[in-house]
Structure 1
């Protein structure tokens, strides 16, 4: 069957061309990619082209179901390669929260079982375990990570008798990188299942999820990858398949839906469900193709340079993230975060406020410019 391959013209092959391809950059200086990234026009065009192709051209010529199922597999292979994982390990989900919740619910829980997480986690990484505590009597231990730094010994003590450990690869509130491989090794030595929230990592630098040693990794492509909403990815090491019993089973999560006794697919695909739109993942495939065309190493170098330019221009006493940035996330102490966000938006600068710590956060991507960074620094320095 012919693969879907819309004619979108040549992909951007430089950082300047990447910026020119993003329509939102014509309207604002956008520094909120850590919440949701602005998509290149070709990403939006790819998603729209799939919908028209599938609902018009395919319907007129062939059965839309096998076409869609073939495309699911092509998407899985391409997006898994971007993550540095085998295709059989990766499932196409809706979001990071979707993946975290699905894995949390798929383990067999007994009263008194222990979950360990850090105090850096987004609600996507806390609410599923709060529910387990209420419904199943699970104990949730929280390891403090001051300023986004986790103490490996404290983590080891907490996870010694735990069933699961959940932590982020990159803290959303401080922009710090956690020692994922080390934490996974500590948890594995204790016999705990490891679930990593990696939503802030894809698109900032090249990844090799298989090297982390995690049992499962949930992420999505609407942030630093610049993809659409609705394109989540769930990595599950097939070696832990027997430990996971999804609470929802449908025809995309099994090998043969018509068999008398179904067999769940390997890896993350066992968490896929029914007739989900392919458009978000088609858009994400174009987004990662665009980043690969520009070069992820170049993207990583530029965003760190620009984030460093911002921190260099701010008072160190107001910086809550590292002065030598480890990512594109820069967190700044201000007297009134919500008012600051509103004021800067009026000046054409888009950032966000954070609940913990109470501060503002700028997300610096490679499509930003030095002039925009200088404007943002000046606006933040004008804060009383």
Structure 2
């Protein structure tokens, strides 16, 4: 069981009557994260950015080490980035595509991923196709198997959609895709920090994640995992003197590992903060944190089930920490704003973020509540009462 008293004491943003339910957007960091970031910025102000960074070289290298511990990967397979979208795109745009190649995306795929797939398909002559959903809204494993042929170059999987409680069967889908010769990229933007991520068990070729959501790190942080042999075979669309070495007037040599997907210039303070966030999670015990998030989300789903006029919009069998719902007669943005007047923070997921899924369900938008382990049950009861009062 997670030490709730410790977690709440470590989180300056909780208490004082506020209810924070937007860890699927940008969560509240623990104190150690903000102190790490601010401390480094102050050191930069004292001695300059270069010297301050040189003092923390071991700590910066340690960021990849702790991420590797979290996802069961070696540091050399991890590239640090400024967002999950950047990490996903850097990998996706490095995969060679030819006319006739097929790119498979899921019905719940995020808009940024779908837009990138459509752009590259337009530029290369490849095709983008949707993997059907099963009756529960998850990726249809049998349908995916039937779609596979030698032309499928890339399969994009979304672990947890931005707009609901669904958890996709990633490992089963990845086995089918890789058996068919396709590369598998997993968007773990909404699962890193709330669900177990073992890249070996999942069997994916690449994985992208952000720091600002369930990991409780700073904004402007993220990372990309690449299967070791893949990291040494892809050429990123952009290189600099960190991702490659200039070894002759007309020759360069790329870094031998995933660092070829990094640039030399970066936000040192933010990356140190990301490392502090992951260490904090590891120290608490990831499994305990994951269980606490799941319990809170299930509590809200159960409470909403008893409220007339409130409809839970979550799909799937296994659920995540994201609870999506609508209130009859009240637009989701109005629900959000009226709750904000009571110092309750939720957010809204619009159809443009997951166009295929939301269009299929006839939804323009949903309210999204995402309780982390620092949210108390009294706070959730206050939130449920406020929704009932709408």
Q: TM-score, normalised to structure 1's length?
A: 0.88
In structure 2, do the counterparts of structure 1 residues 369 and 278 end up closer, same or farther at CA, with 3 Å as the change threshold?
same
How many Å apart are 1:337 and its aligned residue? 0.7
Q: Does 1:328 align with 2:321?
A: yes
The residue number in structure 2 matching 1:7 is: none
The residue number in structure 2 matching 1:25 is: 14
In structure 2, do the counterparts of structure 1 residues 126 and 267 end up closer, same or farther at CA, with 3 Å as the change threshold?
farther
How many Å apart are 1:279 and its aligned residue? 1.3
Unaligned runs of 5+ in 1: 1-12
The residue number in structure 2 matching 1:280 is: 270
Candidates 54, 61, 67, aligned match of 1:79: 67
How many Å apart are 1:242 and its aligned residue? 5.5
Once residues 19 and 76 of structure 1 are traced to their aligned partners in structure 2, the CA distance between those partners, rounded to angstroms, is: 27
How many Å apart are 1:69 and its aligned residue? 5.2
Unaligned runs of 5+ in 2: 351-357
In structure 2, do the counterparts of structure 1 residues 310 and 274 end up closer, same or farther at CA, with 3 Å as the change threshold?
same
Deviates most, 67-76 or 143-152: 67-76
Candidates 297, 310, 328, aligned match of 1:307: 297
The residue number in structure 2 matching 1:4 is: none
The residue number in structure 1 matching 2:99 is: 111
Q: Does 1:131 align with 2:119?
A: yes
How many Å apart are 1:116 and its aligned residue? 0.4
Once residues 54 and 316 of structure 2 are traced to their aligned partners in structure 1, the CA distance between those partners, rounded to angstroms, is: 52
The residue number in structure 1 matching 2:142 is: 153
How many Å apart are 1:112 and its aligned residue? 2.2
The residue number in structure 1 matching 2:372 is: 365
How many Å apart are 1:188 and its aligned residue? 0.6
SS of equivalent residue, structure 1 residue 26: coil
Once residues 292 and 14 of structure 1 are traced to their aligned partners in structure 2, the CA distance between those partners, rounded to angstroms, is: 13
In structure 2, do the counterparts of structure 1 residues 305 and 322 end up closer, same or farther at CA, with 3 Å as the change threshold?
farther
Candidates 269, 272, 283, aligned match of 1:293: 283
Candidates 341, 345, 356, aligned match of 2:340: 345
Write the deviation string for residues 312-341 of structure 1: whole angstroms up to 9, x where unpaired. Answer: 111277122159862211111224111111
Deviates most, 231-240 or 200-209: 200-209
Once residues 126 and 68 of structure 1 are traced to their aligned partners in structure 2, the CA distance between those partners, rounded to angstroms, is: 38
Q: Does 1:175 align with 2:175?
A: no
How many Å apart are 1:154 and its aligned residue? 1.3
Moved over 6 A (4+): none
Once residues 217 and 323 of structure 1 are traced to their aligned partners in structure 2, the CA distance between those partners, rounded to angstroms, is: 22
Alignment RMSD: 2.3
Q: TM-score, normalised to structure 2's length?
A: 0.87
Matched residues, number: 368
Q: Give yes or no for contact 1:148–1:174 (8 Å, CA) kept in 2.
A: no
The residue number in structure 1 matching 2:79 is: 91
The residue number in structure 1 matching 2:152 is: 162
